[in-house]
Structure 1
Amino acid sequence: MEMCANAFLFSILFLSLSLNSAANVDILRPNQNITDGSTIVSAGGHFELGFISPGSSTNRYVGIWYKKIPAKTIVWIANKETPLNTTSGILKHNINGNLIILNGLGHVVWSSNSSTSVNNPVLQLLDSGNFVIRDENDSDTENYAWQSFDNPGNTFLPGSKLGWNLETGLERYLSSWKSEDDPSPGEYTYHVDRDGYPQLIMRKGSAIDFRAGTWNGVRFSGSPNLKPNRIYHSDFVSSNKELYYHYEVVDASIPTRKIINSLGKSQTWMWIEQSQTWQLYLTAQKDECDHYALCRAYGSCNINSSPACECLDGFEPKSQKEWDVADWSSGCVRKVQLSCTDGDGFVKHPGLKSPDARQSWFDRNMTLDECKSMCLRNCSCTAYANTDIRGSGSGCLLWFNELIDIKEHKQNGQDLYIRISASELAKGRSKVRFIIIPIILTVTMMLGVCLWAIRMRWKKHAGGNRRLFFKTDGGNRNGDVDSELPLFDLTTLANATNGFSTNSKLGEGGFGSVYKGMLHEGKEIAVKRLSKDSTQGLKEFKNEVSCIAQLQHRNLVKLLGCSMQKGERMLVYEYMPNKSLDSFIFDKEQSKVLDWPKRYNIIYGIARGLLYLHQDSRLRIIHRDLKASNVLLDHGMNPKISDFGTARICGETETGANTTKVVGTYGYMSPEYAIDGKFSIKSDVYSFGVLLLEIVSGESNANFTHPDHNFNLLGHAWRTYTNYETLDIVDEVIAKSIHEHQLEVFRAINIGLLCVQQYPADRPTMASVVLMLTSKVPLPQPKQPGFFTERKLHERDSATNYLTVTTMAPR
């Protein structure tokens, strides 16, 4: 009996020793296990490993997460396809040194399946987030028997590799999760494709969904926004042994990770310590042109053009009828077939995402001239380019098939030389000579006449079929912005609107009136006619033209043209049959049309439009007057942001500025903008938060009243949130029908409150907002909103207001 008691005490002591030692060190030895509730932590305290449940799941997995980040962010999971449904799991070594997970019955549910044996195996969690099996007496990274970095999930950490070990055939690739709660492999995988010249490819199932392009020595050709930066640096390694992409952080104190989310988006996230949130730093897929082979063979995609697809020089649509209705599935074909023997040549296309390079040929040591010669000697060669764009360029990449998945980039694109027939090449040269010679003669002989004619043309503002060119800074301190827009004749617009009749009027504001019109070809338009005494003057008029004329997004209203004749200033937009959002959400009868799914779609659409303005457009634009009346609704109740008269254009690296003239609308302006004249993308985020809460509640922030207090809508929303009565602010016309959407409504309100927090640094970016709206990522707790003070109720003008900020200075 005494021996049994001693054995029992020894077992308890051993188990206690095992758990305590495992919880305080980064190494797990063969006599130590990890049970559910115990963990090991890397030596520097960066990562932790143990049993965890992702999202709202109750299943248990062995995973690795950031130790120092409050919201547990999982970077790796072992048993992602074989979860445990109890907390009785055990992680341990087996007799062969393999890592195994046992369920409560002692059955193996997952194993590392390492084929390499070591004499004194230990498990170690490194500060890189890598979990390894190695010999205790050998820390050489080349001798790991097994490592989690060789088996990634949806997360790509600094120092890990994405690609191939060519000696063993091991491929390291990313796989999306099915959802935030289910880490089992989803639809999307991200690979280094080695069929031809290596490139990064996202697959949905077996089909290619997105192609980041070929590595050109600086970046992948399909990721022009991947620039040298102070956050991390990337490289692509190609040798006889390995072929992989990797990146290293410059400052190891800033947690950085790349993920493939459940929607197949490749994203780079950074942890911002000040705001205690993950900040979206980069998204590989920027717009519709990133869909694989959207324009098909020999088609080029430009998101800033309409239509987005066009054929390359020397090519034409295979089916013009299909292209006329934006069906590009048949692609383009050569106007003249190559002859190979009659002097084929090449047309240089700068600034492109290089075509799909599968089954291509390359040599990294050839010059560009040698590359051209080799392509000419092979009748099947269709194009060539450098493999490395650094310096004067080097290496040779040849294509032999149809050129597909080409995208135009404004900056950081690659030069591509496409083969065309001698006759097409001659046409191009003769066309250039035909154009250049008269221009030189005209400029030399008639410069004075031309300048005078241009001056008179501008002075008269004559319309018709001509185009208007503005050069205005629009608030852009980095340089001018060029805008080109069709000019409408005043008579044409008068006829379209029945002489600007009262029956054609859609609405009226401080700027003037908006009329519905119909052009002679049957196209419906909306004409914004600025009144002579409008607060929106010539500067704002030019600003709106310069901003919106260059924007193309489904959630932005499309500007079709303008008119500047006989003292009139008019803007011509696409017609929105359902008018503006405020006519629905603030009208008790009309609001019944908007059930919760429609409202959520409107919220999401506005967020997408703002994200495009802040991050994805050619210009970084801060709207500065986002409100319900500036959101228009199309036939399908899809939202389109309008009225860019007060918008400001910033440089690519700018996110805001100061002004002495505050423009905007009471109730939507952020505190730092209304009080100090400081505006930024976070000012728009604040306005979006106000608008979101208005859509949910059906109430106007500025005009909101409540019998129990004198707070505005934001204050009321904050009170209900802190009193755990959040759903009380939901519009009564939908309150009874949102039971199945309650969690979604609650998230939306939470997001709205995050957006209207007092301090800009606390507010999320629109990229984070879009992610919050489309996923189940945990939401941080919001802080008190701006303007959280009770006020005396009084009528306020809801029109656009212009305030002058006086700067105080010592005498």
Structure 2
Amino acid sequence: MENLHLLYNFISCVFILSIKLSIAADNITPSRFIRDGEKLVSSSQRFELGFFSPGKSKYRYLGIWYKQIPDTIVWVANRNSPIFDSNAVLTISNGGKLVLLNQTNGTIWSSNLSREVKNPVAQLLDTGNLVVRDNFSSNSSEDYLWQSFDHPSDTLLAGMKLGWDLKTGLERYQTSWKSDDDPSPGNYTHRLDIHVLPKLCTYNGSVKLLCSGPWNGAIFAAIPSYSYLYKPTVVDNEDEIYYRYDSYNSPVIMTLKLNPSGKIQHLIWNERNRTWEAFFSLPDRFCQFYGHCGANSICSFDKKPHCECLKGFELKSHHNKTRPGTCVRSQSSDCKSGDRFIMLDDVKLPDFVEASLNESMNVKECEAECLKNCTCRAYANSKVTGEGSGCLMWFGDLIDIRKADDRNNGQSIYIRVPASELGGKKLLWILVILVLPAILLPASYIISANSRTRDSWFPMFSLASVSAATANFSTENKLGEGGFGPVYKGRLLNGQEVAVKRLSSQSGQGQEEFKNEIKLIAKLQHRNLVRLLGCCIELEEKILIYEYMPNKSLDFFLFDSTKENLLGWGTRVRIIEGIAQGLLYLHQYSRLRVIHRDLKASNILLDKDMNPKISDFGMARIFGGDELQSKTKRIVGTYFGVLLLETLSSKRNTDFSNTNSLTLLGHAWDLWKDDRAWELIDPTLQNEASYLILNRYINVGLLCVQEDAADRPTMFEVVSMLTNKTINLPHPRQPAFSSIRGLKNTILPANGKARVCSGNCLTLSEMDAR
């Protein structure tokens, strides 16, 4: 009986203790400490703090990690002081200092503190920030006495600051680990360079390894821009200058990590595959290394040789086959004879070795100021938002200029060149090309009087200018015609080629669809979405002006037996993955959260490099986050699956004869279940296709068209399945619409061949998508 009584008391004590620990699981006070094996857990169970051993190391460290990803350490306290046993404890002193003690009470690591506090508490927040504050103060950042966010390790989390506190002189920057097994500070740092204008740079010791372009008011130019995934912010005032990023989708786990090798990577967690995926990793190409081509030169990814001297400079010495050595002035500049400027477009601006900034000047004033100073080598706008503003001027050598690639956002810079190098005729043509449009364009390019805010601003073209651009909508300029109306090729006064879509008076799509398309596309920015340049609403006309796609649309090549061989295997892979990336942006990362609802081969346009761009948003819908989540169970997600299979096979969904199935879906399923999926591929690709990738793509396509919505992957999962070739895919079951029952509106002629219909020939009661 006595034993039972003791057991009852023991269980009661354990229960009471467990309740106490669970209530205070995210914080410690002077009366409580954390031993090796114990943890702090943030209130939403997102982050944990505790002791760990990295990789193969036997040493112990105090760190913070994602609770669901314990191998991903985002912060380390004692980087320079490893613990040699498991007897260390973390506690907080009565004055508020965090202290890591060994078994003899010797201090292994401690936090600094701005001032002592009577009732200190250390708390692990849901942001991953470990903070010290007064227990009776508000839990706001202004009241933090110390925080781990002020002392980054190798990882920058969403909401963390990278930069300077100008009042205290504190610089927050990332430092790499020495190796995957050793978190002590390595050779590489990633920090905000605030000389002239803020820019992000990675250093190897004190030597620059890589630098972005300067902050131009919207982004750091000339590094990959994924603004649909996160919002970049730079704060620059008298108290602080810092950069931070914030995820648009809070449940998404995202980090900016500096690897032991010096690479800076933006990573996103793929929950389905339980892996980290990099959506950019820098430097990944030679042009991204700082000053790769030397001074007064430009590095281009897509040219050979990759390094070229700037206009007005010539090669003096040649070190090797890829680097020009030294570029010097081809002839001495004589200010009195009149120099001129030539524009380099879409480049990373040179480093600010010798540069000045005047934020009150516009670009014309900047040109005049630079022109009258003989030592000024180049000028550019400092901000690209609005109509551009601010004046940057460079003096001396121009270092680290590179051409932006298709993932990047470059800027324009004006390089000083002696007038004698341009030649009279060339100068005349430059004046015609640059000045004439500036004179004529205002007459044909009107900004809506009701569009004053930055969000609502949108270019409006006059009917006269659009008519002139298309030779009065001539038949020779007509590119095609769809449900919206005819599409014409045009050329603006500045020489830019455009596609002009004119709403037909007989079109079933009217004013609402037109407004919808304008509202959507004007706010969507992604390399796999067609860019809307402006519109015309004059008299009875409703016209959209797009960037011109010289290779027309996907169906132009895909379903024409004389042209399908122009789509090689590599091109089709790029098209499939590009469409998937565009849809992922629309579904998950666009601030508007858009469902296209009319995805088909004719709405996939191809640029000069055969990169895909999704077009025609007349039927699209905008959703809120919660509403979109509920719609991801719907059937229209099959559109991508069908389009994927069409792209692999060069066959329309219903364009079948002499087969056991009336649809491409049914045919693909029959081949899959018989282990003959490779037979689906266009015969012209048989000698170049990767059959492992082909099988994976067909698998993904069939998963996208599953009958049960719960079995269909999200676009995030689709992109992961397509791009990560190592993950295992679920086995599909017989898809929806794989038999005649799925073709409610398909007309079957006497010969049994299904007539080609609009879109993917899916008849749906509700047009909402996954």
Query: TM above 0.5, one fold?
Result: yes
What SS class does the counterpart of residue 160 from structure 1 fall into?
coil
Residues 280 and 767 of structure 1 are in contact (CA less than 8 Å); yes or no, is this contact kept in structure 2? no
Aligned residue identity for 2:412: D
CA deviation profile, 1:726-769 (whole Å, cap 9, x unmatched): xxxxxxxxxxxxxxxxxxxxxxxxxxxxxxx9x99489568767
CA distance in 1, matches of 2:135, 2:238: 30
Counterpart of 2:612?
Answer: 651
Counterpart of 1:326?
Answer: 322
**Structure 2 matches for 1:707-718, cutoff 5 A?**
none
CA distance in 2, matches of 1:543, 1:676: 16
What SS class does the counterpart of residue 64 from structure 1 fall into?
strand
* Aligned pair partner of 2:563 in 527, 539, 546: 539
Q: Structure 2 vs 1, CA of residues 264 and 271 (structure 1 numbering), >3 Å: closer, same or farther?
A: same
Counterpart of 1:726?
Answer: none
**Structure 2 matches for 1:108-147, cutoff 5 A?**
108-138=107-137, 139-147=139-147
Residues 175 and 190 of structure 1 are in contact (CA less than 8 Å); yes or no, is this contact kept in structure 2? yes
- Displacement after TM superposition at 1:203 (Å): 0.7
CA distance in 1, matches of 2:428, 2:574: 42
Q: Structure 2 vs 1, CA of residues 405 and 165 (structure 1 numbering), >3 Å: closer, same or farther?
A: same
Asked whether 1:106 is paired with 2:117, we answer no
Residues 294 and 323 of structure 2 are in contact (CA less than 8 Å); yes or no, is this contact kept in structure 1? no
Aligned residue identity for 1:125: L
CA deviation profile, 1:127-162 (whole Å, cap 9, x unmatched): 111111111222331232111001001111111100
CA deviation profile, 1:241-275 (whole Å, cap 9, x unmatched): 11111111222121221111222222222223344
The normalised TM-score by structure 2 is 0.59
Aligned residue identity for 1:174: Q
Counterpart of 1:217?
Answer: 217
CA distance in 2, matches of 1:239, 1:661: 52
**Larger displacement relative to structure 2 (28-37 or 655-664):** 655-664
Aligned residue identity for 2:563: K
Asked whether 1:418 is paired with 2:415, we answer yes
Q: Structure 2 vs 1, CA of residues 278 and 83 (structure 1 numbering), >3 Å: closer, same or farther?
A: same
Aligned residue identity for 1:177: W
Counterpart of 1:344?
Answer: 339
**Larger displacement relative to structure 2 (106-115 or 668-677):** 668-677
Residues 22 and 28 of structure 1 are in contact (CA less than 8 Å); yes or no, is this contact kept in structure 2? no
**Structure 2 matches for 1:408-807, cutoff 5 A?**
408-409=403-404, 412-426=409-423, 429-430=426-427, 432=429, 480=549, 539=563, 542-544=566-568, 649-651=610-612, 657-660=643-646, 662=648, 674=678, 687=692, 761=717, 764=720, 783=728
CA distance in 1, matches of 2:226, 2:386: 16
Counterpart of 1:718?
Answer: none
Counterpart of 1:21?
Answer: 21
Aligned residue identity for 1:298: N
- Displacement after TM superposition at 1:785 (Å): 7.8
- Displacement after TM superposition at 1:431 (Å): 7.6
Q: Structure 2 vs 1, CA of residues 661 and 293 (structure 1 numbering), >3 Å: closer, same or farther?
A: closer
Aligned residue identity for 1:418: I
What SS class does the counterpart of residue 337 from structure 1 fall into?
coil
Q: Structure 2 vs 1, CA of residues 15 and 76 (structure 1 numbering), >3 Å: closer, same or farther?
A: farther
- Displacement after TM superposition at 1:214 (Å): 0.5
Determine what percentage of the aligned residue pairs are the same residue: 35
CA distance in 2, matches of 1:186, 1:430: 52
- Displacement after TM superposition at 1:357 (Å): 1.9
What SS class does the counterpart of residue 240 from structure 1 fall into?
coil
CA distance in 1, matches of 2:106, 2:19: 21
Residues 123 and 131 of structure 1 are in contact (CA less than 8 Å); yes or no, is this contact kept in structure 2? yes
Counterpart of 2:225?
Answer: 226
- Displacement after TM superposition at 1:86 (Å): 1.7
Counterpart of 2:74?
Answer: 75
Residues 94 and 120 of structure 2 are in contact (CA less than 8 Å); yes or no, is this contact kept in structure 1? no
* Aligned pair partner of 2:359 in 358, 361, 364: 364
Counterpart of 1:403?
Answer: 398
Residues 352 and 407 of structure 1 are in contact (CA less than 8 Å); yes or no, is this contact kept in structure 2? yes
Counterpart of 2:586?
Answer: none
Residues 678 and 694 of structure 2 are in contact (CA less than 8 Å); yes or no, is this contact kept in structure 1? no
Residues 267 and 277 of structure 2 are in contact (CA less than 8 Å); yes or no, is this contact kept in structure 1? yes
Q: Structure 2 vs 1, CA of residues 236 and 685 (structure 1 numbering), >3 Å: closer, same or farther?
A: farther
Counterpart of 1:260?
Answer: 258
Residues 121 and 135 of structure 2 are in contact (CA less than 8 Å); yes or no, is this contact kept in structure 1? yes
- Displacement after TM superposition at 1:84 (Å): 1.4
Aligned residue identity for 1:272: N
Residues 263 and 282 of structure 2 are in contact (CA less than 8 Å); yes or no, is this contact kept in structure 1? yes
What SS class does the counterpart of residue 81 from structure 1 fall into?
coil
What SS class does the counterpart of residue 21 from structure 1 fall into?
helix
Aligned-residue RMSD, C-alpha:
4.8
CA distance in 2, matches of 1:786, 1:307: 47
What SS class does the counterpart of residue 370 from structure 1 fall into?
helix
What SS class does the counterpart of residue 97 from structure 1 fall into?
coil
Residues 47 and 129 of structure 1 are in contact (CA less than 8 Å); yes or no, is this contact kept in structure 2? yes
Aligned residue identity for 2:566: K
CA distance in 1, matches of 2:575, 2:680: 26
- Displacement after TM superposition at 1:542 (Å): 3.4
- Displacement after TM superposition at 1:316 (Å): 1.9
Residues 613 and 619 of structure 1 are in contact (CA less than 8 Å); yes or no, is this contact kept in structure 2? no
Asked whether 1:244 is paired with 2:262, we answer no
- Displacement after TM superposition at 1:125 (Å): 1.0
Counterpart of 2:470?
Answer: none
Aligned residue identity for 1:101: L
* Aligned pair partner of 2:308 in 307, 310, 314: 310
Aligned residue identity for 1:181: D
**Structure 2 matches for 1:4-19, cutoff 5 A?**
none
- Displacement after TM superposition at 1:207 (Å): 1.3
Residues 258 and 266 of structure 1 are in contact (CA less than 8 Å); yes or no, is this contact kept in structure 2? yes
- Displacement after TM superposition at 1:178 (Å): 2.1
Aligned residue identity for 1:377: K
Aligned residue identity for 2:381: N
